Structure 1
Amino acid sequence: MSLVEEAKKQAAYKAVDDNFPPHAKYVGIGSGSTVVYVAERIGQLKNKDSFICIPTGFQSKQLIIDNGLKLGTIEQFSDLDIAFDGADEVDPQLNLIKGGGACLFQEKLVAVSAKKFVVVADYRKKSDVLGKQWKQGIPIEIVPNSYVKITKDLKSLGAITVTLRQGGKAKAGPIITDNNNFLIDADFGEVKDPVSLHNKIKSLVGVVETGIFTNVASVSYFGEEDGKVSQWTV
Structure 2
Amino acid sequence: MSSVESAKKLAAYRAVDENFPPAAKVVGIGSGSTVIYVAERIGQLDNKSDFVCIPTGFQSQQLIIDNGLRLGTIEQFPHIDIAFDGADEVAPNLDCIKGGGACLFQEKLVAAAADKFIVVADYRKKSEVLGRQWTQGIPIEIVPNAYAKVINDLKKLGAKKVDLRSGGKAKAGPVITDNHNFLLDADFGDVKDAKKLHDEIKALVGVVETGLFTDLAQKAYFGEENGEVSTWTK
TM-score, normalized by the shorter chain, greater than 0.5: yes
Determine the C-alpha separation between the residues in 2 that align with 1:194 and 1:111: 17
- Calculate the TM-score normalised by the size of structure 2: 1.00
Determine the C-alpha separation between the residues in 2 that align with 1:111 and 1:128: 23
Match of 2:97 in 1: 97
Match of 1:4 in 2: 4
Q: How does 1:111-122 map to 2 (within 5 A)?
A: 111-122=111-122
Match of 1:27 in 2: 27
Determine the C-alpha separation between the residues in 1 that align with 2:74 and 2:186: 28
Q: Which amino acid aligns with 2:179?
A: N
Q: Does 1:167 align with 2:167?
A: yes
Q: Which amino acid aligns with 2:191?
A: V
Match of 1:197 in 2: 197
Q: Which amino acid aligns with 2:196?
A: S
Q: Which amino acid aligns with 1:45?
A: L
Deviation at 1:12, TM superposition (A): 0.1
Deviation at 1:49, TM superposition (A): 0.4
Unaligned 5+ segments in structure 1 are none
Deviation at 1:154, TM superposition (A): 0.2
Q: Which amino acid aligns with 1:122?
A: D
Determine the C-alpha separation between the residues in 2 that align with 1:204 and 1:17: 41
Alignment size in residue pairs: 234
Runs of 4+ in structure 1 over 6 Å off: none
The superposition leaves residues 3-62 of structure 1 with CA deviations (integer Å, 9 ceiling, x where unpaired) of 111000000000000000000000000010000000000000000000000000000000
Determine the C-alpha separation between the residues in 2 that align with 1:3 and 1:179: 36
Match of 2:82 in 1: 82
SS in 2 for 1:198: helix
Q: Which amino acid aligns with 1:205?
A: V
The superposition leaves residues 146-167 of structure 1 with CA deviations (integer Å, 9 ceiling, x where unpaired) of 0000000000000000000000
Q: How does 1:87-166 map to 2 (within 5 A)?
A: 87-166=87-166
SS in 1 for 2:80: coil
Unaligned 5+ segments in structure 2 are none
Determine the C-alpha separation between the residues in 2 that align with 1:128 and 1:175: 30
Determine the C-alpha separation between the residues in 1 that align with 2:25 and 2:61: 17
Q: Which amino acid aligns with 1:158?
A: G
Query: Aligned-pair RMSD on alpha carbons?
Result: 0.3
Match of 1:17 in 2: 17
Determine the C-alpha separation between the residues in 1 that align with 2:126 and 2:193: 17
Determine the C-alpha separation between the residues in 2 that align with 1:148 and 1:42: 43
The superposition leaves residues 42-95 of structure 1 with CA deviations (integer Å, 9 ceiling, x where unpaired) of 000000000000000000000000000000000110100000000000000000
Match of 1:208 in 2: 208
Determine the C-alpha separation between the residues in 1 that align with 2:146 and 2:54: 30
Determine the C-alpha separation between the residues in 1 that align with 2:141 and 2:32: 19
Determine the C-alpha separation between the residues in 1 that align with 2:179 and 2:10: 33
Q: What percent of counterpart residues are identical? A: 75
Q: Which amino acid aligns with 1:199?
A: D
- Calculate the TM-score normalised by the size of structure 1: 1.00
SS in 2 for 1:54: strand
Match of 1:229 in 2: 229
SS in 1 for 2:114: coil
